[in-house]
Amino acid sequence: MKRGNYNGKIGIYGGTFGPVHLGHIRAAHAFLDACCLDRLYILPTAIPPHKAVSQADTPEDRLQMLKLAFSEPEYADDRIIVSDYEQKRGGKSYTILTLEHFAEESDDITMLCGTDMFLTLERWYRGEDILRMAHICCLCRDDDPASMNEIEKTAAHYRDTYGTTVVLPPFSPLVISSTEIRARIAAGQSTNDVLPASVRGYIDAHGLYRA
Ligand code: ATP
């Protein structure tokens, strides 16, 4: 892709994605629509800075599952690019380094965060730089009204302190996590309701997440 002279509206959606599930996919499509993105980069981490990673898959597995999921006609969109940028860069996948990389492509970057991540953003590595550099789109992972209050307070703090544009679109989440999915697979339970068929096929073929 030609870089350096593109100035469309870019979205960044990073995560572990071990494995990608229908909650992530629903969030990606809501992000595209709510922020009218021209391009959405989905970036699986090399080493996530904030959590221990499951030993039951590899960075390559997580990348391939994302590519499969977003190739399914039901979930594909021309604007979505599954990128190996963070995995190729290696080391801890610090978000600010990713934002600085994509800033060569556009100065209009919005980052997607689930509520869990949004509330802690300021404490991330160079979190203040993240909040000055990117717009933030926060999607609620659950319907807990108490946490909505906390989110709005945090959004106001980011706006007032760093000038961050925070978008809080209405969103009806699928309440699921990769952790729960790995546990279901280890217990031999069905994941038909939470994983795309291609991802289930990949997990079966490679024997991932079994106990
Ligand atoms: P794990 O259970 O392994 O921690 P996870 O399901 O939380 O994984 P991540 O890969 O850590 O998934 O998530 C990447 C991003 O997607 C984060 O910003 C997270 O908040 C968001 N996210 C994860 N699950 C959902 C969901 N069900 N709905 C909306 N956003 C989600």
Residue 177 lies in a domain: yes
Tell me if 15 CB under 6 Å of ligand 1: yes
Residue 211 lies in a domain: no
CATH number (domain holding residue 159): 3.40.50.620
Q: What is the pLDDT of residues 65-115, one digit of tens each?
A: 999 999 999 999 999 999 999 999 988 889 999 999 999 999 999 999 988
Tell me if 44 CB under 6 Å of ligand 1: no
Tell me if 209 CB under 6 Å of ligand 1: no
Ligand 1: which residue has its CA nearest to atom 6? 177
User: Could you tell me what percent of the chain has a pLDDT over 70?
Assistant: 92
Tell me if 109 CB under 6 Å of ligand 1: no
Tell me if 45 CB under 6 Å of ligand 1: no
Residue 3 lies in a domain: no
SS3 68: helix
Q: What is the mean pLDDT of residues 14-42?
A: 97
Whole-structure pTM value: 0.93
Number of domains in the chain: 1
Tell me if 177 CB under 6 Å of ligand 1: yes
Residue 71 lies in a domain: yes
Closest ligand 1 atom to Cα of 181: 2
Ligand 1: which residue has its CA nearest to atom 30? 114
Pick left, alpha or beta for residue 33 (phi over 0 → left; psi -120 to 50 → alpha; otherwise beta): alpha
Tell me how far the alpha carbon of residue 128 lies from the centroid of ligand 1, in angstroms: 22
What sign has the CA pseudo-torsion 146, 119, 90, 6?
positive
Tell me if 139 CB under 6 Å of ligand 1: yes
**Does residue 5 surpass a pLDDT of 60?**
no
Residue 73 lies in a domain: yes
Residue 199 lies in a domain: yes
pLDDT for 18 equals 96
The Cα angle at residue 99 between residues 96 and 105, in degrees rounded to 5 = 160
Determine the Cα–Cα distance for residues 133 and 137; give it in Å rounded to an integer: 13
- Which residues lie closer than 8 Å to 76 by C-beta, 6 or more apart? 70
Residue 37 lies in a domain: yes
Low-confidence winner among 1-10, 28-37, 133-142, 196-205 (lowest mean pLDDT): 1-10
Residue 18 lies in a domain: yes
Range of the domain at 29: 10-205
